Structure 1
Amino acid sequence: MHYVKSKSILSQKNGMNLYRGCSHGCIYCDSRSKIYGMEHKFEDIEVKENSLDLLKKELKKRPKAMIGTGSMTDPYIPLEKNLKYVRKSLELVYDYGFGFTCITKSDLILRDLDLLKKINERSKAVVQMTLTTADEELCRILEPNVCTTERRVEVLKTLDEAGIPTVVWLCPILPYINDTEDNVNSILDYCIESNVKGIFCHEMGLTLRKGNREYFYSKLDEHFPGLKDRYIRQFGNSYSIPSPNNKGLMKIFKRRTKENGILNNFNEIFEYLHDFPQKSYQTKLI
């Protein structure tokens, strides 16, 4: 872990990353890609030490909207347990009457359930959770340093009971690893049981580019001997790595989400996540 001073914290679309880098160890993580220009080791988390001051200044002057985090770095990495940057940002989001959404794989988010409920009562809070495999042992290989799928589903159910809407990212689906009907159906069962609002799944597959490709292939050699060579023969250096089962699996995905009233269209889900409700609220100015 190391600290840096940041010049800004919110993007034009109100996204933020309080940390840079991650320690979850997911073998497929796109954020390792060289295109993002990270100049430090991925597991050496960059902490934006002035992020909360910057956020406070931005929230004072921006129109009310949904504040999002987690697109590049899971905000609930282990060091958040002590640093509490996410929790403190949630307090600011609540104080200034904004909404909040984040993407995570961690059950640490339940620590902040009290604030999520307060934000949701005043405006809107949505939690997005990534689910890749229903196989617990496989999950420990694909995402070794974060809670497994069964625990994430418990989190989704707890959030639902608390009235917090949820969205699931059903991705990535890795060719010849978790691209089976049993896996996709099991994850969809979890989503239905948890009453999720929507599920993101553009297609069954993953993306690889310089940086994350090399890391992914090293993990294939470690856990799935011989599979790297099959990827290289079939996909070369392609960015998009579709599952050969994509067509059939997407039919299952679309049919079952439609039958259960779950949003499955990317644009509709993004619109839902960015839509800030015009509720009556009073902000606590600081």
Structure 2
Amino acid sequence: MHYIQAKTILSPKNGMNLYRGCSFGCIYCDSRSKCYQMTHAFEDIQVKENAIELLEAALKRKRTKCMIGTGSMTDPYIPIEHKLQHVRKTLMLVEKYGFGITLITKSSRVLRDLDLLKQINQQTKAVVQMTLTTYDEQLCRKIEPHASSTKERFETLKVLRDEGIPTIVWLCPILPFINDTKENLEGILNYCIEAKVKGILCFGMGLTLREGNREYFYEQLDKHFPTIKEKYIRTYGNQYSILSRNNNALMELFHSICEENQIMHDNRQIFDYLTTFEQKTNQQLSLFD
């Protein structure tokens, strides 16, 4: 872990990353790609020391309320968050200044901040986005070794359901020759149905590979799934976008199950929901109205 002084915190679309790098060790992580120009080891977490001060200044300047997002490049609930509490301080500011929040995570640690999420959600919208890729717990430990297990994430989604916090699931990536099966898809979707998630984002049954994350992914395949790397090289070469041979059948099943259970599954509709600020009114009518 090391500290830097950041110049800005919010992107033009009001997203932010409080940390850079990650310690969850997911074998497919796109954030390892060289195009992101990370100049330090991926597991050496870069902490934006002045992030909270920058965020408060940015929120004070904003004339229009909006949704604030975090977690697109680095999971906000990596272990150092337990000590530093940058995410919790962020939520406190979001609540203080009346903004909405949406965050992406693979960690049950999000429940630590349930009190703040509920406070924000009473006034506007607090949305937790949870990534689910692998129904089988043993397989999950190989693919996402230091994140919460899929079962733990499912239990977290149920708590959020019971507390009225809306949830979106990211069903990606799905790894060809590893978890691109009907059984895996149905297991995850059954979790989503029981947890009553609002929507599921899916960009096809596959993953992306480019310089940086491809090399790490192949190293992990050699370690955990001998012979699978050769299948990737033979089938896909150096393609960026990798689709499972089972993509069409699995996507048809995905859309069918979502439709049957009234789960939002149009990506554009979900992103519109995530980025739309909603001001709730909690005023009670008087007895004389």
TM-score in terms of structure 1 length: 0.97
Tell me the secondary structure at the aligned position of residue 200 of structure 2. strand
Report whether the alignment pairs 1:226 with 2:227: yes
Structure 1, residues 71-111: CA drift from partner, whole Å, max 9, x if none?
00000000000100000000000000000000000011000
Contact persistence 2:127–2:168 (CA under 8 A): yes
The 1-side partners of 2:281 and 2:245 are apart by: 50
Which residue of structure 2 aligns with residue 130 of structure 1?
131
Which residue of structure 2 aligns with residue 45 of structure 1?
45
Which residue of structure 1 aligns with residue 253 of structure 2?
252
Which residue of structure 1 aligns with residue 23 of structure 2?
23
Tell me the secondary structure at the aligned position of residue 44 of structure 2. coil
Unaligned segments of structure 2, at least 5 residues: 283-289
Which residue of structure 1 aligns with residue 286 of structure 2?
none
Deviates more, 1:36-45 or 1:270-279: 270-279
The 2-side partners of 1:190 and 1:278 are apart by: 30
Aligned-pair distance for 1:15?
A: 0.2
The 2-side partners of 1:250 and 1:191 are apart by: 16
Aligned-pair distance for 1:278?
A: 2.7
Aligned-pair distance for 1:280?
A: 4.4
The 2-side partners of 1:51 and 1:79 are apart by: 15
Report how many aligned residue pairs link the two structures: 282
Aligned-pair distance for 1:30?
A: 0.2
Structure 1, residues 156-209: CA drift from partner, whole Å, max 9, x if none?
000000000000001110000000000001100000000000000010000000
The 1-side partners of 2:166 and 2:263 are apart by: 12
Amino acid in structure 1 at the alignment position of 2:35: I
The 1-side partners of 2:136 and 2:82 are apart by: 27
Which residue of structure 2 aligns with residue 73 of structure 1?
74
Extract structure 1 runs of 4+ deviating beyond 3 A. none
Tell me the secondary structure at the aligned position of residue 252 of structure 1. helix
Percent of matched pairs sharing the same residue: 63
Structure 1, residues 210-234: CA drift from partner, whole Å, max 9, x if none?
0000000000000111111110011
TM-score in terms of structure 2 length: 0.96
Structure 1, residues 228-252: CA drift from partner, whole Å, max 9, x if none?
1110011000000100000000000
The 2-side partners of 1:12 and 1:97 are apart by: 19
Amino acid in structure 1 at the alignment position of 2:78: I
Alignment of 1:72-111 (within 5 A): 72-111=73-112
Amino acid in structure 1 at the alignment position of 2:9: I
Structure 1, residues 253-279: CA drift from partner, whole Å, max 9, x if none?
000001111111110000000111133
Which residue of structure 1 aligns with residue 196 of structure 2?
195
RMSD of aligned residue pairs (Cα, Å): 1.0
Unaligned segments of structure 1, at least 5 residues: 282-286
Which residue of structure 2 aligns with residue 217 of structure 1?
218
Structure 1, residues 129-169: CA drift from partner, whole Å, max 9, x if none?
00001100000000001110000000000000000000000
The 2-side partners of 1:140 and 1:119 are apart by: 33
Which residue of structure 1 aligns with residue 285 of structure 2?
none
